[in-house]
A and B are shown apart, each in its own frame.
Chain A
Amino acid sequence: DAGVTQSPTHLIKTRGQHVTLRCSPISGHKSVSWYQQVLGQGPQFIFQYYEKEERGRGNFPDRFSARQFPNYSSELNVNALLLGDSALYLCASSLALSEAFFGQGTRLTVV
């Protein structure tokens, strides 16, 4: 069975640009969450979506947004990129109140 898949794996953007990161959950999982992991730190919660509705938001600016599609895949969008947005962005899916399964992440570099 396919795990959580994220695309792209690596991305380089310029300050001020916009970026879209994509995530496909494990088949049957209806919940998707996004995390930002800056080098040397633990992941920080950004968003959670369940059944296409936002169920939680972390302490991130409005430049960060996300959505979940009818097939439960998800996109994370970041506008007006800053150097500090450089990080590994992790997507996780879950069946219910259980363990989260993480994808391999998208490494975003802002230059």
Chain B
Amino acid sequence: AQSVTQPDIHITVSEGASLELRCNYSYGATPYLFWYVQSPGQGLQLLLKYFSGDTLVQGIKGFEAEFKRSQSSFNLRKPSVHWSDAAEYFCALSQGAQKLVFGQGTRLTINP
């Protein structure tokens, strides 16, 4: 069965520090992969997506992610976080047009 695992439920980093959020997936073929961000009580905003091609994808707000087929991973990175990056982050894979399977999410806290 298709699944997405985000091993870290909560991460705290200092403002200006680098960030890496982990995502592992289980899928029979090459998946379409996404990272979304959610502020409290809000909907989901797409940060970036991987469909095919270059395994390092750039997104909005300075985020990037790298697809590693051998490790079934799609980790999200940012070189320097800002206080406004505090939110919940969700990794997801697509089983077909719009049917998304989400991970449990990682809550990011930023220390000043």
Residues of A at the B interface (CB closer than 8 Å) are 4, 31, 33, 35, 41-45, 48, 50, 55-56, 88, 90, 92, 94, 96-97, 99-105, 107
Contacts and interface: CB of A to CB of B under 8 A. Distances in A.
Given A99-B46, A107-B41, A42 B90 contact: yes
Dominant secondary structure of chain A at its interface with chain B: strand
Interface in B17-71: 32, 34, 36, 41-46, 49
Dominant secondary structure of chain B at its interface with chain A: strand
B102 interface: yes
5 contacts: A48-B97, A90-B43, A94-B98, A99-B46, A102-B36
Interface residues of B, number: 24
A94 B99 CA distance: 11
B94 to A, nearest CB: 8
Contacts of A92: 44, 98, 100
A33 B102 CA distance: 14
Interface string B70-101: 00000000000000000000101010111111
